[in-house]
Chains A and B, each alone.
Chain A
Amino acid sequence: MSSLSSTSDRLFTAALGAVLGMYVLLLLVLLLADASFIRWADLRQCWADEALRASFRLTLVSCTLSALLAVLVALPSAYILARCRFFGKAFVEVICDIPIILPPLVLGVSFLILVNHVRLGGASLEEWVGRWSGGAFGITFQVAAVILCQFTVAAAYCIRSLRGVFEEISPRTEAVALTLGCSRSQAFWRVVLPESRRGIGSAFTMAWARSLGEFGPLLVFAGITPFKTEVLSSSVYLRFTTGDLHGAVAVSLLMISVALGVLLTLRLLSRRAQP
């Protein structure tokens, strides 16, 4: 009986492992296909391109800023959604999910309309920013648009992820902190945040990865201007549409390497921070 049961256990685990194995294989085959398609010279030529290096730098900076902003906004939002009951909560939850369910292009169009065509006090938001900064700053087709698009999508994912993290922490833990002399905010900073630090790390990682892959809204709202608003995802598109398939694949491989490097580093750091 015991041996029968252990055989069935092994079969069960093997079946699950096979499904996982097939999916991992698919991803590996995709990577190998990319790697086999390009030559070493393509990679060197790609990296020699000044515009691509600027795109690489902007990608790193904008993804990091967007992810930081997303976590900063998601922390209080997710905590309120996890802990509080209030009128219209279901509506707020649906609104927060909009960037997840919306086609990416639509988000870009919406930003374009909001910033350029909705007039407040006789001028659009773009015009107001121009006036306030004496023409020094703008939003549309600027770096600000890149960060705004990446942040908006990443924050929605962060809120979902952090909400789950906060729901996992027993409200009783906070209740005990209150009886030990904490105010609500002290309980949040001293108990809830330390307990959710791994979750916050994961949310940041996810936000960073989401930002890296963002493309649709950037195309519409930020444009693809080399040395200005071009990020790696748009570099791939740019090369592909101009018929430079080898260049597109080389940039893709660069993106994959960056993503793997950053995600692995963050995961290792979060493991080290584990109590």
Chain B
Amino acid sequence: MIRLEKLHLSLGSCQLRGIDLELQRGSLNILLGRSGCGKTTLLEALCGLRPIDSGRIWCDGEEITGLPPSRRRLGYVPQDLALFQALSPRQNLVFALEIAGWTKAAIASRVEELCRPLKLEELIGRPSLQGFSGGERQRLALGRALALRPRLLLLDEPFAALDPELRQELGEMLRQLVREEQVTILMVTHSRAEAEVLGDSHWRLDQGVLKSGLA
């Protein structure tokens, strides 16, 4: 379970005030809000990429407020995906596993596990990211973030640049990951319809304050 207690953060004109949030394990949680209201800042603060002014962050009973991003075990997929262009698709996928020092056999087994739900089998055999479509890039970025079995997966508008059919397909893929792998997801989106269909719980940021529900 992920818990945020009275999180305060100010970054230029963006302010987050007293954010309290609880996310259940194996749930898909939606974060809505106007552009510039601090959704990305909140995700980055959770990852440890932005220092917070006050408050505490708990993850499965462990306080991670002061931990560096590398030790939080949270997966993050930013809006631009930030795939590593100089690496091959497979190198992107196993990046976190190699950093963590997994053995070759363990890496191969995890790659197999990831390829099935994300339909990556054919993609990771390609030599480079050149020619990847938006959906393919998206799936690879998801796989890269999921490789190390993060305690929370943070997705910043993951479907923003995709067509409706692909959005639906990837949405179903996320639901499947939540169902089968018990992944906890906090996903930022602008689409109310998508939020209604996909989300187990809904949150909205309004003038720096986090409120529950869609309305």
Contact between B100 and A181 (Cβ–Cβ < 8 Å)?
A: yes
- Chain A residues contacting B70 (CB-CB under 8 Å) are 178-183
User: Which one of B75, B100, B130 lies within 8 Å of A179 (CB-CB)?
Assistant: B75
Contact between B128 and A275 (Cβ–Cβ < 8 Å)?
A: yes
* CA A173 to CA B99, docked complex, whole Å: 16
User: Which one of A170, A180, A181, A186 lies within 8 Å of B80 (CB-CB)?
Assistant: A170
Contact code string A131-159 (vs B, CB < 8 Å = 1, else 0):
00000000000000000000000000000
Q: Does B132 contact A (CB under 8 A)?
A: no
Q: Does B114 contact A (CB under 8 A)?
A: no
Q: Does B58 contact A (CB under 8 A)?
A: no
Q: Does B103 contact A (CB under 8 A)?
A: no
* CA A16 to CA B75, docked complex, whole Å: 48
* CA A31 to CA B72, docked complex, whole Å: 62
User: Which one of B80, B86, B87 lies within 8 Å of A172 (CB-CB)?
Assistant: B80
- CB closest chain-A residue, reference B141: A176
Contact between A275 and B85 (Cβ–Cβ < 8 Å)?
A: yes
Q: Does B32 contact A (CB under 8 A)?
A: no
Question: Majority SS of interface residues in chain A?
Answer: helix
Task: Give chain B interface residues in 74-128, CB to chain A under 8 Å.
Answer: 74-78, 80, 82, 84-88, 95-96, 99-100, 128
Task: Give chain A interface residues in 165-211, CB to chain B under 8 Å.
Answer: 170, 172-173, 175-183, 186, 190-191, 194-195, 197
- Chain B residues contacting A182 (CB-CB under 8 Å) are 70, 99
Given the known inter-chain contacts A180-B144, A182-B70, A275-B128, please indicate yes or no for A172 contacting B78, CB distance below 8 A.
Answer: yes
- Chain A residues contacting B76 (CB-CB under 8 Å) are 175-176, 179
Contact between A194 and B82 (Cβ–Cβ < 8 Å)?
A: no
Contact code string A53-87 (vs B, CB < 8 Å = 1, else 0):
00000000000000000000000000000000000
Given the known inter-chain contacts A175-B69, A275-B128, please indicate yes or no for A181 contacting B82, CB distance below 8 A.
Answer: no
Contact between B95 and A180 (Cβ–Cβ < 8 Å)?
A: yes
Contact between B82 and A175 (Cβ–Cβ < 8 Å)?
A: yes
* CA A194 to CA B87, docked complex, whole Å: 8
- Chain B residues contacting A173 (CB-CB under 8 Å) are 82, 84
B40 to chain A, nearest CB (A): 10
Contact between A179 and B86 (Cβ–Cβ < 8 Å)?
A: no
* CA A186 to CA B82, docked complex, whole Å: 16
Q: Does B160 contact A (CB under 8 A)?
A: no
* CA A177 to CA B96, docked complex, whole Å: 8
Q: Does B44 contact A (CB under 8 A)?
A: yes
* CA A179 to CA B74, docked complex, whole Å: 7
* CA A172 to CA B44, docked complex, whole Å: 10
Q: Does B68 contact A (CB under 8 A)?
A: yes
* CA A275 to CA B96, docked complex, whole Å: 21
Contact between A178 and B69 (Cβ–Cβ < 8 Å)?
A: yes
Contact between B95 and A194 (Cβ–Cβ < 8 Å)?
A: no
Q: Does B49 contact A (CB under 8 A)?
A: yes
User: Which one of A176, A186, A194, A275 lies within 8 Å of B99 (CB-CB)?
Assistant: A186
Given contacts A180-B70, A180-B99, 20 further A-B contacts (CB under 8 A): A170-B82, A172-B78, A172-B82, A175-B44, A175-B78, A176-B78, A178-B49, A178-B68, A178-B70, A179-B47, A179-B48, A179-B76, A179-B145, A180-B95, A181-B96, A181-B100, A183-B70, A186-B99, A191-B84, A275-B86
Measured CB to CB, the residues of A under 8 A from B are 170, 172-173, 175-183, 186, 190-191, 194-195, 197, 275
Q: Can you name 30 A-B pairs with beta carbons within 8 Å?
A: A170-B80, A172-B78, A172-B80, A173-B84, A175-B78, A176-B76, A176-B78, A177-B95, A178-B69, A179-B48, A179-B69, A179-B70, A179-B74, A179-B145, A180-B99, A180-B147, A181-B96, A181-B99, A182-B70, A182-B99, A186-B99, A190-B95, A190-B99, A191-B86, A194-B86, A194-B87, A195-B85, A195-B86, A197-B86, A275-B86
